[in-house]
Amino acid sequence: MPALETPLHFLTGAELDAAALASLLDRAAALKAAPLSSRVLDGRAVALLFQKPSTRTRTSFETGVFELGGHPMVLRGEELQITRGESVRDTALVLSRHVAAIGLRTGSEEELEELAAHATVPVVNMLSPLHHPCQAIADLETLREAYGELEGRVLAYVGDGNNVARSLAVLGGLAGMEVRVAAPAGYQLEDGWGAVLTDDPAEAVAGADAVYTDVWVSMSDDESSAAARRAALAPYRIDDALLDRAAPGAFALHCLPAHPGEEITEAVLYGDRQRIWDQAENRRHAQKALLELLVSAAAERG
Ligand code: CP
Ligand code: NVA
């Protein structure tokens, strides 16, 4: 792909077009088959800045950067001069002088946008309150492993209409999938992301190829709302009976961390009707393909 058509940053996933997404998913599969076949980060560092906790994102990016020949520079927000008042702008300008790309996990969309506005190297959203596009590309890779071509496949997301649901709507739509979101009033995704919205889990799941859920209380949610969230979302748990309403062979997906007994039953989480642990692995392969795309294009731009 010509470098000029490749976006500098990956903040929501909408920066990609359908062809770029398809070729990224192809590269993810190739890198999964041959993990050390790309050395695109040879001699380069990638800053991975975490303002929020992480298990999968940190380990998959850190391992992935290493496998691409680079140095993963994991930074916690509290280690930086940002905590003493240095601006995000100045942080972006300084990091850009050292690293090939910057990943940011943040509780503030504004912080992400400010970093991207001033960084001269690619910025990757490693989760923000509204988006989690690195999760969605790994999920699409997982779906491709099961189904091949994604065009026309149906993904039913059941639960809180959160950052993961939004990113699945954006990137699933770009892949030509029908993304349905079932959530109760007050927890539904906004219109405008291309998803089919309903408050009925059975309706969303009918004939679907995969059934997805996520936590009911996200990192950006006020903990004082947790009890109300759990009560409202209780009818939206993924269990075997709900999976029975999906297409034959359909499986459960979950970005993790999971709360067995809340949004998903233990039987489904650890059973044979899920590809959840493959999803967790595919974070690394998909993100490596993403870094390769963004860093190669940035190098061609000069
Ligand atoms: N799914 C995901 O992003 O997990 P972490 O919060 O552990 O990174
Ligand atoms: N929706 C969850 C995803 C965690 C990976 C959160 O934002 O906390």
In this structure, the answer to whether residues 70 and 176 fall within a common structural domain is no
In this structure, the answer to whether residues 8 and 119 fall within a common structural domain is yes
Instruction: Report pLDDT for 6.
Output: 80
In this structure, the answer to whether residues 206 and 126 fall within a common structural domain is no
In this structure, the answer to whether residues 32 and 145 fall within a common structural domain is no
Measured from the alpha carbon of residue 131, the closest ligand is: 2
Question: CATH number, domain at 90?
Answer: 3.40.50.1370
- Is residue 68 pLDDT above 60, yes or no? yes
Per-residue model confidence as pLDDT tens digits over 132-160: 999 999 999 999 999 999 999 999 999 99
Atom of ligand 1 nearest to the CA of 55: 7
Range of the domain at 57: 3-132+283-301
In this structure, the answer to whether residues 264 and 295 fall within a common structural domain is no
Q: Is 230 a catalytic residue?
A: no
Return the HEC string of the chain. CCHHHCCCCECCCCCCCHHHHHHHHHHHHHHHHCCCCCCCCCCCEEEEEECCCCCHHHHHHHHHHHHCCCEEEEEEHHHCHHHHCCCHHHHHHHHHCCCCEEEEECCCHHHHHHHHHHCCCCEEECCCCCCCHHHHHHHHHHHHHHHCCCCCCEEEEECCCCHHHHHHHHHHHHCCCEEEEECCCCCCCCCCCCCEEECCHHHHHCCCCEEEECCCCCCCCCHHHHHHHHHHHHHHCECHHHHHCCCCCCEEEECCCCCECCCECHHHHCCCCECHHHHHHHHHHHHHHHHHHHHHHHHHHC
Mean pLDDT along residues 213-221: 98
In this structure, the answer to whether residues 100 and 173 fall within a common structural domain is no
In this structure, the answer to whether residues 155 and 237 fall within a common structural domain is yes
Instruction: Report pLDDT for 208.
Output: 98
In this structure, the answer to whether residues 114 and 21 fall within a common structural domain is yes
Mean pLDDT along residues 218-229: 97
Atom of ligand 2 nearest to the CA of 160: 1
Domain count, the chain: 2
In this structure, the answer to whether residues 171 and 253 fall within a common structural domain is yes
Instruction: Report pLDDT for 203.
Output: 98
Q: How confident is the model at residue 5 (pLDDT cuts 50, 70, 90)?
A: confident
In this structure, the answer to whether residues 143 and 276 fall within a common structural domain is yes
Ligand 2 binding residues, C-beta < 6 A: 127, 132, 162-164, 214-215, 218-220, 255
In this structure, the answer to whether residues 193 and 243 fall within a common structural domain is yes
In this structure, the answer to whether residues 230 and 114 fall within a common structural domain is no
Nearest CA to ligand 1 atom 4: 56
Q: Is 255 a catalytic residue?
A: yes
Measured from the alpha carbon of residue 136, the closest ligand is: 1
